[in-house]
Structure 1
Amino acid sequence: MATQLKNLSDFSETDVPSAAPYHFGIVVAEWNAEITNALYQGAYESLLEHGALIDNIFTYSVPGSFELIAGADILLKNKKLDAVICLGCVIQGETRHFDFICDAVANGISNVSLKYSKPVIFGVLTTDNQQQAIDRAGGKHGNKGVEGAVTAIKMANLFETLNS
């Protein structure tokens, strides 16, 4: 089915384990706040819906998507967490800045995950325009924050299963 016709955040066909035993970090970029706040609400509410305890969710803001990398690293260094969800939004502009930031953020988040052997979830929108971001932050294509939360729960459960 074409992306334009699909809600990408539909998990009705997926089993999501309980989030109750896990501790989560959420790092949210302040840049493009209208979008990132919607992503955060989706992630936070989804964690709670799946049984996460309020006291087991640690949220921190960073200035922009590039800083998500350091934010996730600091969180994992200082808190006992099972997964970290990184939420940001980079919208294509007129310069190549978009390409450099998107590439650096994707690689940096991957590196933090490998460094700590913990799931660090890439919940960063990389869109051509504002409308595409709105559509993926609670609009017609769902909410990437919800997807990030479900991914974090499933990965925390996988890590627990394989390490026990």
Structure 2
Amino acid sequence: MFGADKGTADKLDGKKLHIGIVQARFNEGITNTLAAACREELIALGVQEKHIDHVLVPGALEVPVALQAMAEADKYDALVALGCIIRGETYHFELVANESGAGVTRVALDYQLPIANAIITTENLEQAVARQTEKGRDAARVAVEMANLLGELN
């Protein structure tokens, strides 16, 4: 089994990795906290700050196209998608949540590039606030672990 003999520390070693972050500005109070937590965790995992590229897009629907451009650059070991979609009174929530999620997955599969999807979807602002820091940290850990796994598999 791939990765079975590697310890957790090896799986979360980001020293040699280049990571790209795409952050949606919509609900920026939440997405700024997601981004800060993600960057802090990436650095704690050994990713050099100079090897973290961070771009902003207007909203969650724009995240996949920026991820795709970064994937085409062929310089990243993993990418991170950050955003926040809070349910409203219309169907727009479902459309944005479903299409942004599908777009992120499509880019990951098309480019065989790990993408940690931390576009959080919540019922209300309180749920978003409760999740923002841990989801940012978790996205960093997922990106590093999956970059190392794919590096091992390839």
**Is residue 134 from structure 1 mapped to residue 129 from structure 2 by the alignment?**
yes
Following the alignment from structure 2 to structure 1, what is the Cα–Cα distance between the partners of residues 153 and 72? 22
3-state SS, counterpart of residue 100 of structure 2? helix
1:124 positional shift = 0.7
Following the alignment from structure 2 to structure 1, what is the Cα–Cα distance between the partners of residues 70 and 152? 23
1:65 alignment partner in structure 2: 60
Match of 2:100 among 95, 98, 105: 105
1:122 alignment partner in structure 2: 117
Structure 1 residues 75-113: Cα deviation after superposition (integer angstroms, max 9, x where no partner): 111250000000000000000100011010111100000
Match of 2:88 among 64, 76, 93: 93
Structure 1 residues 30-57: Cα deviation after superposition (integer angstroms, max 9, x where no partner): 0000000000001000000010011110
**Identity %, equivalent residues:** 36
Counterpart residue type for residue 148 of structure 1: A
1:18 positional shift = 1.0
**Is residue 153 from structure 1 mapped to residue 144 from structure 2 by the alignment?**
yes
TM-score calculated relative to the size of structure 2: 0.92
Match of 1:74 among 63, 69, 72: 69
TM-score calculated relative to the size of structure 1: 0.86
Q: Number of aligned residue pairs: give it.
A: 146
2:50 alignment partner in structure 1: 55
| CA-atom RMSD in angstroms | 1.0
Following the alignment from structure 1 to structure 2, what is the Cα–Cα distance between the partners of residues 98 and 85? 21
Following the alignment from structure 1 to structure 2, what is the Cα–Cα distance between the partners of residues 105 and 120? 13
Following the alignment from structure 1 to structure 2, what is the Cα–Cα distance between the partners of residues 33 and 80? 27
Structure 1 residues 46-78: Cα deviation after superposition (integer angstroms, max 9, x where no partner): 000010011110000000011010010011112
3-state SS, counterpart of residue 84 of structure 2? strand
Structure 1 residues 96-149: Cα deviation after superposition (integer angstroms, max 9, x where no partner): 1000110101111000001111001110110000000000013xxxx2111100
Higher helix share: 2
